[in-house]
Structure 1
Amino acid sequence: MEPLKHECGVAMIRLLKPLEYYREKYGTWMYGLNKLYLLMEKQHNRGQEGAGLACVKLEANPGEEYMFRERALGSGAITEIFGNVQGNFKDLTPEQLNDAEYAKKYLPFAGEVYMGHLRYSTTGKSGISYVHPFLRRNNWRAKNLALCGNFNMTNVDEIFARITADGQHPRKYADTYIMLEQVGHRLDREVERLYVQCEAEGLKGVDITHAIEERIDLANVLKTSSKEWDGGYVICGMTGSGESFAVRDPWGIRPAFWYMDDEIMVLASERPVIQTALNVPVESINELQPGQAILLNKAGKMRLAQINRAKEKKACSFERIYFSRGSDMDIYKERKLLGEKLVNPILKAIDYEVEHTVFSFIPNTAEVAFYGMLEGFDNYLNELKVRKIEELGHNPGHEELEKILSWRIRSEKVAIKDIKLRTFIAEGNSRNDLAAHVYDITYGSLVPHVDNLVIIDDSIVRGTTLKQSIISILDRLNPKKIVIVSSSPQVRYPDYYGIDMASMDQFIAFKAAIELLKERDMKDVIARAYHKSKNQTGLPKEQMVNYVKEIYAPFTNEEIAAKMVELLTPKGTRAKVEIVYQTLDGLHEACPSHTGDWYFSGDYPTPGGVKLVNQAFIDYIEKIYQF
């Protein structure tokens, strides 16, 4: 309903055979490049503000370029970057284009190591200079570094202060540049360590270069550079000499999956894209574990290394509810179960009038949860039918049976996403009027003033679209009652690990709780939470407590949901409106392996998250109130 942006998607490919092998077996030396395109296109849901790719060509001679990069902005960035890459080949003869040896020697992007990135900005920083991969250039092949990632760091300020105190000078105050500088600095030290070692062994000139590239250990580099990182991340990188890696945060917040056979190693943010791109079974795909890295050296030998000690796993549950594609086998089941677990609270909301209720969903990510909800209601109706038949006795009449067996759950496609609003109209009232028409309805899909309308969405964060458009447009059908259902719990807290919700006043749940405190003359709760938060600002982040929880503590979920209805229901709405939310227990039962729920519960997995939520609350209070 309200699209959340999420940073980001990654894809890596390491070819393990010479390019000629792929030309002979698959008809083209561009096998790796084509697979990277597929992996990125199948993950376009993860980033539509920009995209980039990088490539390393192994065994290039001195004076020949061996590291290539292409980046573009906008929703068509994937098409643009691959179009630009293909533009390098447009003047070739068919013989040249088909010649793997010629490509290897002369053509850009004809390499063995590839890395792709899809970007959604969650920091407000945009422009081509913020599009991954980032490059750190050097005359030593082994010191060249390309880096990209799906991440957000919570302690950029601390890291920036420390590395500048050490004499480093990042080009920009942004987490990606700072991480590039950190990893690059440790890579320099690793190369220099090996140089001294090789020189002591009597090696000289190009022999030293080759020996360094054969011995370099990126696990050392990652252990020393990532130990301070607080946040959710999957960071991918490759060096000019052909080493490549991907490392996951110790809490397992951001996802990564990999596959390897004797021809190729592939890594991506989502599992089904690897299945589709390579046509391999789900059982052959591995999940990168918390704190773990997958490392491939110049020769293509792979090893897994534990870079940081794994913490309690807090994999992001929003990945399952919303961000990842629903084509993953487990995600599909989980989303259906999220819908099924809402049956009882929905029954209560419609006063058990199933016969006079139409069920629908808000396009498109809630569709799978909608199917689960329907299955749950089918099961409920079947139990009801059995009870009614048993009440008829041993010899029920044909008409009595027919009447009971004809009961159906009524589902319709009620809401239709009709237009994409453009921002060329600046005047407020005109924009609001346009916003009210983002969705359209299917007229005649319910019986006016008789039927309830239940409509499911995957999340309600800000509530803006509900207020500006959806409730008003649904009310035109004249339902007796509108029940908006969220397959996820109430979003109450900011995210600092890669979702674009960082300030308190974005959340309709927070606004509702504040309004309830004011209405019930409980402003002292706000004051106490503020002062407790303010008093710990000088403490180390590891000692901080999330006092924002005290804002919600006096109220039940139902009380907050009822206040939300008041805040979101437009004037003149004729139908009664109710909002039904998933419970935290229901979420954990549906998604047992993804327990990261800090945006719902306030239980941040890292100290940096606790520090930032307190600061967000302090900023909000100091902007609104005077204490």
Structure 2
Amino acid sequence: MTDVLDTRLGRHWSGPAERWSPPQRDPDDDTPRLECGVFGAFDVADAAAITALGLHALQHRGQEACGIACFDGQRFHTERHMGHVGDAFSGPDLVARLPGRTAIGHTRYSTAGGSFIRNVQPMFADLEAGGVALAHNGNLTNFLTLREQLVADGAIFQSTSDSEVILHLLARSRKARFVDRFIEALTQIEGGYALVAITNKKLIGVRDPLGIRPLVLGELDGKAVLASETCALDMIGARFVRDIEHGEMVVIDHNGVESLRPFPAARARPCIFEYVYFARPDSVVNGRSVYEVRKRMGRRLAQESAVSADVVVPVPDSGVPAALGFAQETGLPFEMGIIRNHYVGRTFIQPTQGARELGVRMKLSPNRAVLAGKRVMLIDDSIVRGTNSVRVVRMVREAGAAEVHLRSASPPIKWPDFYGIDMPDRDKLLAANHSVEEIARLLEVDSMGYLSVDGLYWAMDAEPRNPVDPQFTDHYFTGDYPTRLLDREIAEGRNDSADRQLSFLVDA
């Protein structure tokens, strides 16, 4: 779908409305999903093509929808599509379709169930102060509260995305300068986010006050670019300059890069799950090599929970670096006992349980020559509900493994996330409801072990965790949320009120 927006006339032409129903997510797939990746480039030749390349590198952060918005000096142009970047933004006509030297892009996972094209980012608004296109990674924890207030005041929403709330807040600001409008809007939102936006003169990047979601600044032929991860800079041949700091806004125009600090001072608490699973292993996040951190996780895991085994086998691909570290620490051979088929889409699903059991073999196949007769140390990055794990364990046993010992290179996941990770409620999290011994029985393994929280901090080369002032956002392991969860608190309050009312009626 292509939109063309002319801010001089305030017009917005678009194709017919599209509705897309994503493939139903496999109910047995417990892989956590991060909802977005963002990219932006200012004053570069063929900005849309550069942005598309950057989004290719960020495809792992969202594989169900993508979009690009650009400004050609007179008009804004946007394209938003369901599907992969390579399918949506390829071909020799890309720059003709999306002309201009400044652009932003976004790649995302859709929410559960049906998804409308109008929810795909970047989102555009033609405001009194001019046009603005915006995309963000993360979640606003007061989104519903703000939305209800805005609707009560007469706002009309075109999507169910929390990004649109930011546009409405921008529209209602009476500040004269656009940057000041942005600051006023940002001071009203809460949660974890990294945001990029373009106006007719500027590229803006913002990271939330605690730096929960990542954002980096790069340089391409002397021009500024922004991205969720450094791997996107590598993809386009850009030089890494620095991380955008927590609570920092960078305003990029023809005068250079201006750094602003619109939020009260706070200690950074970046998301530690970026290192466990989400970031690409070749990225450097907040000054730490993701690959090296994951190897250290494996080393510490071996120190904490090694048992007699013959071979170390990763669950590919995310378990590979930790398994390497585990093997190096123990001296056990590292082998690819499970082979991943990279030509099967991640959303593959079959309608019956039996077909799903076979479906896992389309993605992962046992290497019998490695597994048969061996005591296998199976290393995965994390375990959420355990549904994937039990199928992998059964596959390894069927290949002839004498024993299977499962290890998670992260601590037990006991609490859900509200900052942009699609993670089940607490009653569906395996470690929140079962002991390690019970989990071993449920997953049909000879032994089960997790990396400790202290071990994870050690792998980060950080000081031991201070429960009063943690260095990272780690609530999925500890229950220690870094911000208030206003929408959830209100919803729980309403539920409590309804329960009390029902109790009163029953008693009466």
* TM-score normalised to structure 2 length: 0.82
1:310: Cα distance to partner? 3.6
Match in the other structure for 2:7: none
- 1:380-426 Cα offsets, whole Å, 9 max, x none, are xxxxxxxxxxxxxxxxxxxxxxxxxxxxx223211123584886743
CA–CA distance in structure 2, aligned partners of residues 368 and 433 of structure 1? 27
Match in the other structure for 1:63: none
Mapped pair 1:586 → 2:455: yes
Give the gaps of 5 or more residues in structure 2.
Answer: 1-28, 463-470
Match in the other structure for 1:202: none
Is the 8 Å Cα contact of residues 57 and 242 (structure 1) preserved in structure 2?
no
- 1:443-471 Cα offsets, whole Å, 9 max, x none, are 232562xx42101010000100122x211
1:174: Cα distance to partner? 3.3
Mapped pair 1:303 → 2:262: no
Q: How does 1:86-485 map to 2 (within 5 A)?
A: 86-87=92-93, 109-122=98-111, 126-138=115-127, 142-186=129-173, 189-190=174-175, 193=176, 216-218=177-179, 220-239=180-199, 241-260=200-219, 263-280=222-239, 282=240, 285-297=241-253, 299-329=254-284, 330-347=289-306, 350=307, 353=308, 356-378=309-331, 409-418=332-341, 420=344, 425-432=350-357, 434-435=359-360, 438-446=363-371, 448=373, 451-467=374-390, 469-485=391-407
CA–CA distance in structure 2, aligned partners of residues 578 and 612 of structure 1? 38
Match in the other structure for 2:48: 33
1:374: Cα distance to partner? 1.7
Is the 8 Å Cα contact of residues 482 and 577 (structure 1) preserved in structure 2?
yes
Describe the shift of the 1:358–1:502 C-alpha distance in structure 2 as closer, same or farther (beyond 3 A).
closer
Describe the shift of the 1:317–1:425 C-alpha distance in structure 2 as closer, same or farther (beyond 3 A).
closer
CA–CA distance in structure 1, aligned partners of residues 361 and 94 of structure 2? 47
Q: What secondary structure sits across from 1:479 in the alignment?
A: coil
CA–CA distance in structure 1, aligned partners of residues 399 and 350 of structure 2? 29
CA–CA distance in structure 1, aligned partners of residues 97 and 349 of structure 2? 41
1:71: Cα distance to partner? 1.2
- 1:540-583 Cα offsets, whole Å, 9 max, x none, are xxxxxxxxxxxxxxxxxxxx1111122232xxxxxx52111010
1:235 partner letter: L
Match in the other structure for 1:5: 33
Match in the other structure for 1:96: none
Is the 8 Å Cα contact of residues 73 and 127 (structure 1) preserved in structure 2?
no
1:606: Cα distance to partner? 0.5
Give the gaps of 5 or more residues in structure 1.
Answer: 17-28, 61-65, 90-106, 194-215, 379-408, 513-559, 570-575
Match in the other structure for 1:22: none
Match in the other structure for 1:197: none
1:436: Cα distance to partner? 6.6
Describe the shift of the 1:427–1:112 C-alpha distance in structure 2 as closer, same or farther (beyond 3 A).
closer
Percent identical across equivalent pairs? 26
CA–CA distance in structure 2, aligned partners of residues 375 and 581 of structure 1? 18
User: Is 156-165 or 303-312 further displaced after alignment?
Assistant: 156-165
Mapped pair 1:607 → 2:467: no
Is the 8 Å Cα contact of residues 51 and 78 (structure 1) preserved in structure 2?
no
Describe the shift of the 1:51–1:304 C-alpha distance in structure 2 as closer, same or farther (beyond 3 A).
same
Describe the shift of the 1:332–1:361 C-alpha distance in structure 2 as closer, same or farther (beyond 3 A).
same
- 1:164-193 Cα offsets, whole Å, 9 max, x none, are 34443333443122122112332xx23xx4
Describe the shift of the 1:9–1:125 C-alpha distance in structure 2 as closer, same or farther (beyond 3 A).
farther
Describe the shift of the 1:425–1:14 C-alpha distance in structure 2 as closer, same or farther (beyond 3 A).
closer
Mapped pair 1:489 → 2:411: yes
2:366 partner letter: I
For 1:73, which of 64, 67, 82 is the aligned residue? 82
Describe the shift of the 1:44–1:164 C-alpha distance in structure 2 as closer, same or farther (beyond 3 A).
same
User: Is 429-438 or 479-488 further displaced after alignment?
Assistant: 429-438
1:52: Cα distance to partner? 0.5
When Rg is computed on C-alpha atoms for both structures, the one with the higher figure is: 1
Describe the shift of the 1:583–1:226 C-alpha distance in structure 2 as closer, same or farther (beyond 3 A).
same
1:476: Cα distance to partner? 2.1
1:230: Cα distance to partner? 1.6
1:221: Cα distance to partner? 1.2
Q: What secondary structure sits across from 2:155 in the alignment?
A: coil
* TM-score normalised to structure 1 length: 0.67
The root-mean-square deviation of aligned C-alpha atoms, in Å, is 2.9
Match in the other structure for 1:386: none
Is the 8 Å Cα contact of residues 244 and 296 (structure 1) preserved in structure 2?
yes
CA–CA distance in structure 1, aligned partners of residues 394 and 134 of structure 2? 47
Is the 8 Å Cα contact of residues 343 and 376 (structure 1) preserved in structure 2?
yes
Which is helix-richer, 1 or 2?
1
Is the 8 Å Cα contact of residues 349 and 359 (structure 2) preserved in structure 1?
no
1:229: Cα distance to partner? 1.3
Q: How does 1:490-509 map to 2 (within 5 A)?
A: 490-509=412-431
1:473 partner letter: M
Describe the shift of the 1:605–1:485 C-alpha distance in structure 2 as closer, same or farther (beyond 3 A).
same
CA–CA distance in structure 1, aligned partners of residues 62 and 144 of structure 2? 26
CA–CA distance in structure 1, aligned partners of residues 492 and 234 of structure 2? 42
Match in the other structure for 2:10: none
CA–CA distance in structure 2, aligned partners of residues 164 and 613 of structure 1? 17
2:236 partner letter: A
Is the 8 Å Cα contact of residues 490 and 509 (structure 1) preserved in structure 2?
yes
1:79 partner letter: D
1:249 partner letter: D
CA–CA distance in structure 2, aligned partners of residues 415 and 234 of structure 1? 35
Mapped pair 1:568 → 2:490: no
Describe the shift of the 1:426–1:295 C-alpha distance in structure 2 as closer, same or farther (beyond 3 A).
same
2:165 partner letter: I
- 1:125-146 Cα offsets, whole Å, 9 max, x none, are 62311110111125x6x42111
Q: What secondary structure sits across from 1:15 in the alignment?
A: coil
Describe the shift of the 1:122–1:502 C-alpha distance in structure 2 as closer, same or farther (beyond 3 A).
farther
